């Protein structure tokens, strides 16, 4: 069994100047492709169930799917709840076998964010599970604007919550379809000087791979969330298959077609983040 927590994979990454990919799963095809990619590269992987995935598939099913893959993998696999907004969601995820919880109180007032995150940390501690919190707010391309992380607030947030990983906003944006993010390196340095936890960048698809690589090696950013980049790959592979197999109607063949391309994309992402 290689079921792992977030701390299990991020602490070694700090020591060897690498980072771990948090890959957004939307279904079985994604999950198997990402796990096989991690095994071939020989590195850990974080399988992430975000709000969209949870609306489509029950949390109990996702937990069983993730743990099934983790228990059979030869590399550490983190079963991660991404962007939970309530204590109840986190409690349910623990019951479903998740090993890592991301509680997102970033849209709340600072005191409320701290209180919610600390409560989730208290919930996870007896189970020896990891908790990721967010300070500042990562916006969306074409949607809500970002609120850049204040270094002093990040220090207080970490101190009063005891979180295991700290998601920050320094120019990263969700749902970017191009590598267009402009990272505020000065802000990052200020955050690093006042905090100690591994740092997380959501919206990793918008960060150029060369910048992701530099961040992994030169900073305490140890987790990159990648979703849009993978969804683009899945959609393109699916369109290609349907274009070349117009008479195909078997959904198992259709949905299996993107697995190999997705695996290749995931391997490229992972290798770029390794030391």
Using left for φ > 0, alpha for ψ between -120 and 50, and beta otherwise, residue 147 falls in beta
Could you report how far apart the first and last alpha carbons of the chain are, in Å? 25
Spatial CA neighbour of 230 closest among 32, 34, 59:
34
Please report the DSSP string for 49-113 in residue order: E-HHHHHHS-HHHHHHHHHHHHHH-SS-EEEEEEEE-SHHHHHHHHHTT-SEEEE--TTS-HHHH
Give CA torsion, residues 230, 16, 102, 151, to 10 deg: -110
> Rg of the chain over CA atoms, in angstroms?
18
Identify the active-site residue in 30, 82, 104, 164: 82
Concerning whether 82 is annotated as a catalytic residue, the answer is yes
What residues are labeled active site? 82
């Amino acid at each position: 069994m290689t079921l792992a927590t977030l701390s299990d994979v991020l602490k070694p990454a700090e020591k060897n100047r690498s980072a771990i990919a948090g890959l957004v799963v939307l279904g079985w095809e994604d999950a198997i492709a990402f796990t096989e990619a991690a095994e071939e590269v020989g590195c850990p992987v974080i399988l992430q169930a975000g709000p969209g995935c949870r609306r489509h598939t029950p949390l109990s099913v996702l937990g069983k799917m993730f743990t099934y893959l983790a228990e059979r993998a030869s590399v550490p696999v983190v079963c991660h709840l991404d962007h939970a907004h309530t204590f109840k969601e986190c409690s349910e995820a623990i019951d479903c076998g998740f090993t890592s919880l991301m509680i997102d109180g970033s849209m709340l007032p600072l005191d409320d964010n701290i209180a919610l995150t600390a409560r989730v940390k208290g919930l996870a501690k007896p189970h020896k599970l990891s908790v990721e919190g967010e300070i500042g707010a990562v916006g969306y391309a074409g949607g809500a604007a970002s609120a850049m992380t204040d270094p002093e607030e990040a220090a207080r947030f970490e101190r009063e919550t005891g979180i295991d990983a700290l998601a920050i906003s320094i120019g990263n944006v969700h749902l970017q379809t191009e590598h267009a993010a402009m990272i505020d390196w000065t802000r990052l340095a200020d955050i690093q000087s006042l905090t100690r936890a591994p740092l997380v960048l959501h919206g990793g698809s918008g960060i150029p791979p060369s910048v992701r690589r530099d961040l992994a090696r030169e900073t305490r950013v140890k987790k990159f969330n990648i979703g849009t980049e993978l969804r683009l790959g899945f959609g393109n592979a699916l369109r290609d298959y349907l274009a070349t197999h117009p008479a195909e109607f078997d959904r198992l063949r259709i949905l299996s077609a993107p697995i190999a391309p997705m695996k290749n994309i995931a391997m490229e992402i992972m290798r770029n983040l390794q030391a």
